[in-house]
Amino acid sequence: MLESVGALTGSPWIYAVVAVSVLLDVFLPVLPSGVLVIATATAAAGSTTVAGAASAARAVEQVSEVPSLLALTLCAATASVLGDLVAYRVAWHGGERLDRAIARSRRLSAAQNHLGTALARGGGILVIIARFAPAGRSVVSLGAGASHRKVKEFLPWSALAGVAWAAYSVGLGYFGAQWLGATWVGTAVAVLALFVAGSLAAYVIRRPAAEAADQASTATATTTS
């Protein structure tokens, strides 16, 4: 993937590829949008490093050929928010068809159950945390639309979540390239760090839900006795 992305970094099309991948993974969580952002940032950082070691004229030429890390971050964050809004609108008008679609997916159903309780207790900050969790973005965006939450209650947290996720992913790619070089090793370590963050986010989200389930079980047992 790194070689393929490296070949694209000299073209503006890399922004379109990243944007489409990030926008669509709210509906298809299996898309490796985070891996793509990291690989693009790694390739860009590696090209910038090479350019810095070249002559002044060659450095200017090389730097102009690679995507700006800031532009990459803004592209990924913007696509994330737009994808959230599309999912929110689809869920708003989806009704029973959306409920059936979620019910057919074990992953989305389980995540919806965990996030429902967690978001009710933790508020907007968990929207940001859920952005890093597997399928968390999908459940939050679809859930906000299905429950007809106001846009002003959802959009600011979606924007913060998108910026946080994009900055973290680009930062992983950049620092991985700086410390380990623009190789598959650096990319693999950065991707591993992304998955670790996702696992931690999933744990934080599931914990309030588990606590609520325990409390409900305790209350039921007390009532029965």
Q: What is the mean pLDDT of residues 105-120?
A: 60
Residue position matching structure tokens 């968390």: 136
Predicted confidence at residue 64, as pLDDT, reads 43
Task: Please list the alpha-helical segments (H only) found in the chain.
Answer: 2-8, 13-24, 33-53, 56-63, 69-94, 96-104, 106-122, 125-130, 136-146, 151-180, 184-224
What the block records as the tokens of 80 is: 């994330």
What the block records as the tokens of 78 is: 């913007």
Residue position matching structure tokens 């090389």: 62
Each residue of 18-72: pLDDT tens digit? 999 999 998 887 778 888 898 888 887 765 544 444 444 444 444 444 468 899 9
**Angle at the Cα of 197 from the Cα atoms of 196 and 199, rounded to 5 degrees:** 65
Q: Please report, for residues 37, 43, 102, the alpha-carbon distance to residue 140 in angstroms, rounded to integers and kept in the order given.
A: 22, 31, 12
Each residue of 155-183: pLDDT tens digit? 888 999 999 999 999 999 898 888 877 66
| Four-residue CA torsion sign, 137, 191, 183, 162 | positive
Cα(147)–Cα(61) distance, integer angstroms: 51
Q: What is the mean pLDDT of residues 106-125?
A: 61
146-155, 179-188, 205-214, range with greatest mean pLDDT: 146-155
Predicted confidence at residue 9, as pLDDT, reads 58
Each residue of 186-201: pLDDT tens digit? 778 888 888 888 888 8
Predicted confidence at residue 125, as pLDDT, reads 81
Whether residue 33 contacts residue 21, with contact meaning beta carbons closer than 8 Å, is answered with yes
Predicted confidence at residue 123, as pLDDT, reads 62
Q: Which helix (H) or strand (E) holds 145?
A: helix 136-146
